[in-house]
Homo-oligomer: A and B are copies of this chain.
Amino acid sequence: MAGYGHPYVIHAANLAQVYEQAAQAQQQQAEPVRIAHEHAQYQQQQQPLQQQQQIRAASPPHHLQAQDALAQAAQLELGQNPNALAIRRPFDPTAHDLEANFRLTRFADLKGRGCKVPQEVLLKLLEGLQDDQGQEEHSTHFMHVQIAKVGIGMDASITPLRHSGLSLVQTTDFFYPLVEDPYMQGKIACANVLSDLYAMGVTECDNMLMLLAVSTKMTEKERDVVIPLIMRGFKDCALEAGTTVTGGQTVMNPWCTIGGVATTICQPNEFIIPDSAVVGDVLVLTKPLGTQVALNAHQWLDQPERWNRIKLVVSEEDVRKAYQRSMDSMARLNRTASRLMHKYNAHAATDVTGFGLLGHAQALARSQKAEVGFVIHNLPVIAKMAAVGKACGNMFQLQQGNSAETSGGLLICLPREQAAAYCKDIQKVEGYQAWIIGIVEKGNKTARIIDKPRVIEVPAKEKDGELW
């Protein structure tokens, strides 16, 4: 399958040396990040594929020492940093003997996290389970969506184990296709599942299961091309995360479905309970917003009526680029962001997904122990997508923080004096920006976005042949 439909995705290479250099550079704050990345890219290009695969096969299994695993994982991530690569070629169905008008997203009527049962409906459905709450009290601390005294409905759970001092951290998620490229769809699904672990500061995943439904509307040909690409994408992303996919379930279903389960068994010091924000902290966001706007705008390229509504504020090229950026962003692991949470003493974090920035900020605020409130001043948004959002009558409510994201960034409460260093560090290690977007002040456990937030275009300036 090497090179099968995803020529620009280069597998993990032995970049220990580069990583060390980057780490030195970080300390000295001297060597520009771009050089380290170009170096990485150069090394990868020089390394024959076969050798890369050997290195991959020889990489230690996931039950090695945590320290080694961390170092190894850092290498893997740096090695696969898509930022170091040229822009990914769009998925071409005809290159796989499929019809030119094949669209993966047509195999479901709901997209991405739009398929989730609305929060208020879910709460209603869960009401009947409230009467045997006792056994689950310990879970209520760890919910992303706080549902009083019911464990079901949250994205991730922490369960104390029978074995001394260890806890089981688990999360599951599945949804419908939101991009046309099956390989990228697989990666995004995997990154999205893992993101819930990372939000809790858990950087090691011990095992993954893959949940897959083949659409009953696919032809055999479509099935035989698309499903292995999705599986491969999922598996490659798991590999980037230093984990493996050891099982799963595959069924037939009207809508194509992809998701998984991520499981970690860890010591208490491996996770960060997201309830310790204090007045004076600042809020950091590690990925730009606007994926939902970009994915929709991209589909509108085929729908003249829709396209006419936004073509005054954005070019076709802008939309294609925003779409590529969204894919890259959604497929990117929040693992480095999670690792650095430990280094910079993060007080609480969540990942931004289906309920939008504000929805998740509010859920996080609600679970704080201290009487705090979150105020958001800045909105980093994928370039041009704020304008698109406005042009189509604000249907996404992007600037109100309500636009759904898939596999979005981490929203982290950091001590004020650490936040700038955190952002600088993530840029050094990964080559991606992070932003201070707000503050933690005295309050009643709510979150809000100020009236006219500053929109930060990401990237601020187009660079030829580069994504960010």
Contact = CB atoms under 8 A, between A and B. Distances in A.
Contacts of A175: 251
A250 interface: yes
Interface in A201-229: 204, 206-207, 209-211, 214, 216, 223-224, 227-229
A224 B210 CA distance: 29
Interface string A49-61: 0000100111101
B247 A253 contact: no
Contact of A64 (B162, B235, B259): B162
Given A57-B135, A162-B65, A252-B115, A157 B246 contact: yes
Interface string A98-135: 00000000000110000111000110111111011011
A206 B154 contact: no
A280 interface: no
A246 B162 contact: no
A2 interface: yes
A228 to B, nearest CB: 4
Nearest to A151: B246
Contact of A250 (B57, B116, B250): B116
Interface stretch (A18-26, A166-174, A284-292, A313-321): A166-174
A343 interface: no
B1 A115 contact: no
A131 B264 CA distance: 26
Interface string A123-153: 0111111011011100100000000000111
Interface in A285-308: none
A231 interface: yes
A63 interface: yes
* Centre residue among A53, A135, A216 by max chain B CB count within 10 A: A135
Given A116-B251, A117-B214, A161 B63 contact: yes
Given A115-B252, A252-B117, A265-B163, A156 B247 contact: yes
B231 A152 contact: yes
Contacts of A126: 228, 231
A346 to B, nearest CB: 22
A1 B228 contact: no
Given A231-B129, A257-B253, A162 B204 contact: yes
Classify the interface of chain A: helix, strand, loop or mixed. Answer: mixed
Contacts of A228: 125-129
Interface residues on A, range: 35 or more
Nearest to A162: B63
Contacts of A435: none
B211 A172 contact: yes
A420 interface: no
A69 interface: yes
A294 to B, nearest CB: 22
B254 A172 contact: no
Contacts of A231: 125-126, 128-129, 152
Given A247-B171, A247-B172, A251-B175, A209 B160 contact: no
A254 B255 contact: yes
Contact of A1 (B4, B53, B56, B131): B131
A115 B136 CA distance: 33
A206 B162 contact: yes
A116 to B, nearest CB: 6
A214 B166 CA distance: 35
Nearest to A154: B247
A406 interface: no
Contact of A162 (B58, B62, B134, B247): B62
Contacts of A224: 124-125
Nearest to A134: B57
Contacts of A56: 132
A239 interface: yes
A211 B210 contact: no
A232 interface: yes
Contacts of A232: 128-129
- Point out which of A57, A58, A172, A259 has the most chain B C-beta atoms below 10 A from its C-beta: A172
5 contacts: A62-B159, A64-B162, A157-B246, A161-B206, A166-B265
